[in-house]
């Protein structure tokens, strides 16, 4: 009876894995089949490095959106990664039990908040602060980076905390035996041993940052220009797709799908770079 159950469960797991792989292949196939012909028709160089996006006039340059996505994602990493990793270390090794019982559900709640709610928070809270400090309209790279940095915190904290907790206690005890203090043992022995898991959390956080749409639309300014400063308005590739896909037709629609192909390749390159860094370390 047990052998039958095990065989049945193996079959179920195999089917689930095949469905996941097949879904990914179908999505990639749809994107590339519909996007690459449009890129070829427009011209690869004009599409990737064109400075003007005016579909009504036949201009389909997405270079400002590529730069905007890079700027916003880099800003989110600068804001979110240090805070997230340090918070994870604190929760795993320094946090009192009573405080932990409050922080853990709160971080889980952050992960469940819809993107549009984050967008409203950025519009009502972060944008006015930027307006008061810098005297601008408050919407731009800096605002979007801060908001995305907050949004990726739950992912980074959860994965990094699990990674830190998974390090064998002997690492910590060995560091103490060699004369390290509690803080030194944590940051010199435990955290380096957990770097693989921490990096995985960062990769997941970056993936959410670069793929985020609704919150960015609300606070980024949505200007199809290359930002000249962190206060300039910006439009990301995801925002461009969402804002125009509803009414786009013909080559315009295919160009938006082509933008999705570029975004897919962009995320793939980032993951490969993180994998290389992980192997080197």
Residues 42 and 110 in one domain: no
Which CATH number goes with the domain that contains 255? Answer: 1.10.3720.10
Domain span at 22:
2-46
Question: Can you read off the two tokens belonging to residue 138?
Answer: 């408050």
Residue 53 lies in a domain: no
**Looking at the structure, do residues 27 and 109 belong to the same domain, yes or no?**
no
Whether residue 134 is found in the same domain as residue 31: no
Instruction: Identify whether 227 is part of a domain.
Output: yes
Q: Is there a single domain that holds both residue 163 and residue 219?
A: yes
Residue 77 lies in a domain: yes
Of residues 21, 67, 103, the one with CA closest to residue 236: 67
Contact 220, 126 (CB under 8 A): no
What pLDDT does residue 271 have?
A: 77
Amino acid 270: pLDDT:
79
Question: pLDDT at position 177, please?
Answer: 87
Judge whether 25 lies within some domain.
yes
pLDDT tens by residue, the chain, 281 residues:
677 778 888 888 989 999 988 988 888 888 888 888 888 888 889 999 888 898 888 889 899 999 999 999 999 999 999 999 999 999 999 988 889 899 989 988 888 888 889 999 999 999 999 999 988 888 989 999 999 999 999 999 999 999 999 988 888 888 888 888 888 888 988 999 888 889 888 888 888 888 888 888 999 888 888 888 888 889 999 888 888 888 888 888 889 999 989 988 888 887 787 777 666 55
- Phi then psi for residue 140, to 5 deg, are 175, -165
pLDDT of the residue at 79: 92
Residues 187 and 99 placed together within one structural domain of the fold? yes
Give Cα 272 distance to the centre of its chain: 15
Tell me the two tokens of residue 54. 């005016």
pLDDT at residue 279, rounded to an integer: 66
């Amino acid at each position: 009876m047990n052998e039958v159950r095990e065989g049945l469960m193996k079959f179920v797991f195999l089917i689930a894995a095949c469905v996941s792989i097949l879904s990914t292949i179908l999505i990639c196939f749809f994107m590339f089949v519909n996007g690459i012909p449009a890129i070829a028709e427009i011209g690869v160089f004009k599409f990737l490095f064109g400075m003007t996006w005016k579909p009504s006039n036949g201009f389909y340059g997405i270079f400002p959106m590529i730069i905007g996505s890079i700027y916003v994602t880099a800003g989110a990493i600068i804001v979110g990664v240090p805070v997230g990793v340090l918070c994870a270390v604190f929760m795993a090794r320094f946090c009192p039990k009573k405080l932990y019982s409050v922080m853990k559900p709160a971080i889980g709640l952050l992960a469940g908040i819809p993107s549009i709610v984050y967008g409203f928070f950025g519009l009502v809270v972060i944008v006015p602060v930027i307006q008061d400090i810098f005297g601008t309209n408050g919407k731009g790279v800096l605002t979007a980076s801060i908001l995305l940095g907050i949004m990726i915190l739950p992912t980074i904290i959860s994965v990094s905390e699990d990674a830190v907790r998974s390090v064998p206690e002997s690492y910590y005890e060995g560091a103490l035996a060699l004369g390290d203090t509690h803080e030194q043992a944590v940051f010199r022995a435990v955290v380096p041993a957990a770097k693989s898991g921490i990096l995985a959390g960062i990769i997941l956080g970056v993936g959410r940052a670069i793929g985020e749409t609704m919150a960015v639309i609300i606070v980024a300014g949505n200007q199809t220009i290359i930002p000249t400063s962190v206060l300039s308005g910006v439009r990301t590739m995801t925002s461009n797709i969402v804002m125009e896909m509803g009414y786009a037709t013909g080559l315009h629609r295919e160009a938006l799908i082509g933008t999705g192909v570029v975004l897919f390749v962009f995320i793939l390159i980032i993951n490969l770079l993180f994998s290389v860094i992980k192997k080197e370390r």
